[in-house]
């Protein structure tokens, strides 16, 4: 807590600006102005977090501990900050950073579980392949043909899915084989995520590991009714999903108190088809479909019935109708912390991970990948 008068002086607020609530613009250096007030913390990481700032380390300003922190001063200031995530250069550095972030999360006593996702490119959007725009400008072609992707693969490779019971099991296996789905892989193992962030050395961009924390009470399991409702969207045509999405928007606008999906205003054929898909999977299912659930993103723990899921400590984020990319720092349901890896450090980190048995053979268990791993080690004189 700092003195209001001191803060007014530091921010150059004068006259009517002290009580103005809608806007205030100052052309000044925020770090220089606030440095004398000592309302920041974590001096050790200042140059890493703000590498582009010319900061005097002899008498440095300090870093705001949390972007959502508030100071009770009697007035508010709204600002948009772009914070560059901390960089790590090796595995020990990464582990220390993961522990540090987990401690921050645990200290809030919100009973959260942390999952991890690694990207070879830090610019990668947190969206599943199904919801991505086609790079050739054709729009969301996979989303348009979701029901065709689902049925065509089941038709041509039925034996591969013979042991899969639910729509979620089927989508999980399709994801494994590279088919675009509305699911995004996450892992319970931070080192696996680090491997994913570094594995493709051809990426001419820094990598990134995301730490995504979810309240344990919000985590779903593979047999959840909510998850059945989302996975069975894959069986509807694009026009059926459009009618469903329009119905939800209409309900939220005309009758926000309405919480359950029904066929009163929705095309009865679409409703019956959708319900039939769910009942075919769950005969005991009661037709109480929460409208808000159809647009949400859920964290799901799958069954450990596939080698790769076991090897990668795999879980998933599953996206509902028209779900958007998670914001940079997450939202009320998912908090997101980021750790960045310089492209020049990726090869060294992969070598360190190999010492810990995190490599192509263990992350992607199959005889093909074991053969590639052994071949590469021989070529590099490591056998």
Q: What is the Cα–Cα distance from 93 to 88, expressed in whole angstroms?
A: 6
Encode pLDDT of 42-72 as tens digits.
Answer: 545 555 666 666 655 545 444 444 444 454 5
Encode pLDDT of 269-327 as tens digits.
Answer: 888 899 999 999 999 998 888 988 998 999 999 887 677 777 667 799 999 987 888 88
Reported as type and span, the H/E element at residue 119 is: strand 112-119
Structure confidence at residue 312 (pLDDT)? 67
φ, ψ dihedrals at 292, nearest 5°:
-65, -30
Encode pLDDT of 222-278 as tens digits.
Answer: 899 999 999 999 999 999 999 888 888 888 788 888 888 877 667 778 888 999 999
The count of other CB atoms within 10 Å of the CB of residue 275 is: 17
Confidence of residue 38 (pLDDT cuts 50, 70, 90): low
Q: Helices (H), strands (E): how many in the chain?
A: 15, 8
Query: What SS3 string covers 44-96?
Result: HHHHHHCCCCCCCCCCCCCECCCCCCCCCCCCCCCCCCCCCCCEECCHHHHHH
Structure confidence at residue 299 (pLDDT)? 96
Query: What SS3 string covers 220-266?
Result: EECCCHHHHHHHHHHHCCHHHHHHHHHHHHHHHHHCCCCCECCCCCC
Q: Domain ranges for the chain, please list them.
A: 1-84, 88-379
Residue where the block lists tokens 């779900």: 323
The answer to whether 87 and 340 are in contact (CB under 8 A) is yes
Q: What is the Cα–Cα distance from 66 to 50, expressed in whole angstroms?
A: 14
Structure confidence at residue 60 (pLDDT)? 47
Confidence of residue 343 (pLDDT cuts 50, 70, 90): very high
Confidence of residue 211 (pLDDT cuts 50, 70, 90): very high
Encode pLDDT of 77-125 as tens digits.
Answer: 555 556 678 999 999 999 999 999 999 999 998 999 999 999 999 988 8
For the record, the structure tokens of 130 come out as: 């199904």
Confidence of residue 29 (pLDDT cuts 50, 70, 90): low
Structure confidence at residue 356 (pLDDT)? 94
Structure confidence at residue 28 (pLDDT)? 56
End-to-end CA distance of the chain: 60
Encode pLDDT of 186-198 as tens digits.
Answer: 999 999 999 999 9
Q: What is the Cα–Cα distance from 155 to 161, expressed in whole angstroms?
A: 10
Answer yes or no: is pLDDT of 375 > 90. Answer: no
Mean pLDDT over each residue of the chain, to the nearest integer: 81
Angle at 277 between CA 276 and CA 283, to 5 degrees: 70
φ, ψ dihedrals at 113, nearest 5°:
-115, 140
Structure confidence at residue 65 (pLDDT)? 46
**Could you tell me which residues are beta bridge partners of residue 330?**
335
Answer yes or no: is pLDDT of 155 > 90. Answer: yes
């Amino acid at each position: 807590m700092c003195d209001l008068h001191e803060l007014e002086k530091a921010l150059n607020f004068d006259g009517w600006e002290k009580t103005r609530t809608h806007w205030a613009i100052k052309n000044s250096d925020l770090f220089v102005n606030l440095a004398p007030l000592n309302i920041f913390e974590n001096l050790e990481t200042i140059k890493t977090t703000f590498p582009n700032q010319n900061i005097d380390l002899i008498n440095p300003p300090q870093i705001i501990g949390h972007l959502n922190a508030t100071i009770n001063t009697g007035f508010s200031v709204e600002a948009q900050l772009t914070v560059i995530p901390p960089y790590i250069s090796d595995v020990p550095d990464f582990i220390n950073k993961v522990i540090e972030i987990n401690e921050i999360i645990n200290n809030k006593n919100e009973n959260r579980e942390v999952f991890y996702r690694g990207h070879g490119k830090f610019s990668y959007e947190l969206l599943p392949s199904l919801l991505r725009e086609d790079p050739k400008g054709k729009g969301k072609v996979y989303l348009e043909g979701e029901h065709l992707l689902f049925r065509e693969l089941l038709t041509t490779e039925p034996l591969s899915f013979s042991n899969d019971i639910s729509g979620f099991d089927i989508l999980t296996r399709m994801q494994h084989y590279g088919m675009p789905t509305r699911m995004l892989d996450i892992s319970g193992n931070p080192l696996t995520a680090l491997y994913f962030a570094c594995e493709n050395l051809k990426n001419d961009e820094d990598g990134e590991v995301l730490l995504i924390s979810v309240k344990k009470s919000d985590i779903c399991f593979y047999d959840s009714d909510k998850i059945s409702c989302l996975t069975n969207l894959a069986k509807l045509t694009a026009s059926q999903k459009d009618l469903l999405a329009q119905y939800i928007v209409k309900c939220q606008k005309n009758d926000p108190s309405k919480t359950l999906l029904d066929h009163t205003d929705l095309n009865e054929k679409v409703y019956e088809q959708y319900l039939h898909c769910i009942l075919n999977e769950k005969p005991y299912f009661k037709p109480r479909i929460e409208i808000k659930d159809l647009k949400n993103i859920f964290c799901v723990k799958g069954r450990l019935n596939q080698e790769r899921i076991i090897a990668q400590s795999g879980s998933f984020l599953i996206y509902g109708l028209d779900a958007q990319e998670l914001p940079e720092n997450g939202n009320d349901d998912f908090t997101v912390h980021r750790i960045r890896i310089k492209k020049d450090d990726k090869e060294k980190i992969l070598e360190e991970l190999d010492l810990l048995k995190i490599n192509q053979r263990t992350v992607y268990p199959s005889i093909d990948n074991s053969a590639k791993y052994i071949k590469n080690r021989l070529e590099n004189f490591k056998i």
